[in-house]
Amino acid sequence: MVNINEQKSNYDRLSKWYDYLAGCSELRYIALGIKKLDPAVGDRVLEIGCGTGYGLVSIARLVGIEGRVDGVDLSQGMIKVSKTRLQRAGFLPRVHLKRANASQLPYGNALFDAVFMSFTLELFGASTMRRVLCECHRVLRDDGRLCVVALSKSGCSVAKRIYEYLHNRFPQHIDCRPIRLRQQLEAGLFSVVEDDEYSLFGLPVSITLAKKSTANE
């Protein structure tokens, strides 16, 4: 795995070009994930790994002026691009951005109705992934919702095998890797509500909606 400082540097360098290099191919799945999350008017929603801000704009539109949207990203370059996009869309005053590590979220407990992540969780190694999900659980209110869009380890397509080979050879350039998303979510923290699978150039993509598990469940 690429370490966190390398990830930050890579995404800072890519931030101005990310939408041209990868963002466009991800937009459909971001939109599907937000639709599954179904933010309501008045909700407070956090996006982890907000990237260039496409998801933030959509979420801000759905929660309305009664709601609040927060976005975090490790890369200051990505935060800067997000700010520009939000400003152009007229949402910057009510979307709050922070550069932060997903495994140490700068928020108190039980603040959010929903958390959204797209093509972010699979950047982390197993132990860090667990910490990120623990942080999601911590900042969500009881019965809070988590929707994750991620490359899936299911199936054995040629595209997936080639992608995993390239990831193993060149992790600094191909940093996302397919994961067993449902298994990660259900390891004591969340209960899966819906789990759908799509294809991105032959790569399986999971879009999974889960509910925060509590001590009483």
In a domain, 157, yes or no: yes
- Which residues span the domain enclosing 104? 4-212
In a domain, 105, yes or no: yes
Q: What is the pLDDT of residues 93-116, one digit of tens each?
A: 899 999 999 999 999 999 999 999
pLDDT value for 112: 99
pLDDT above 90: percentage of residues in the chain: 63
In a domain, 43, yes or no: yes
Beta carbons within 10 angstroms of residue 203's beta carbon: 19
pLDDT above 70: percentage of residues in the chain: 76
pLDDT at 23 over 80: no
In a domain, 217, yes or no: no
Question: How many structural domains comprise the chain?
Answer: 1
In a domain, 197, yes or no: yes
The Cα angle at residue 13 between residues 7 and 15, in degrees rounded to 5: 95
pLDDT value for 167: 47
Residue 42 makes CB contacts below 8 A (sequence gap 6+) with 63, 64, 66, 67
Give the domain CATH number at 141.
Answer: 3.40.50.150
In a domain, 86, yes or no: yes
> What is the amino acid identity at position 53?
G
pLDDT value for 53: 94
In a domain, 121, yes or no: yes
In a domain, 172, yes or no: yes
pTM for the full model?
Answer: 0.86
Q: What is the pLDDT of residues 52-99, one digit of tens each?
A: 999 999 999 999 999 999 999 999 998 999 999 999 999 998 999 999
What b/e string do you get for 10-25 counting C-beta neighbours within 10 Å, with b at 16 or more? bbbebbeebbeeebee
Task: Please state, in angstroms and rounded to a whole number, the distance separating the CA atoms of residues 202 and 204.
Answer: 6
Q: What is the pLDDT of residues 127-181, one digit of tens each?
A: 999 999 999 999 999 999 999 999 987 666 655 565 554 445 555 555 567 788 9
pLDDT at 4 over 90: no
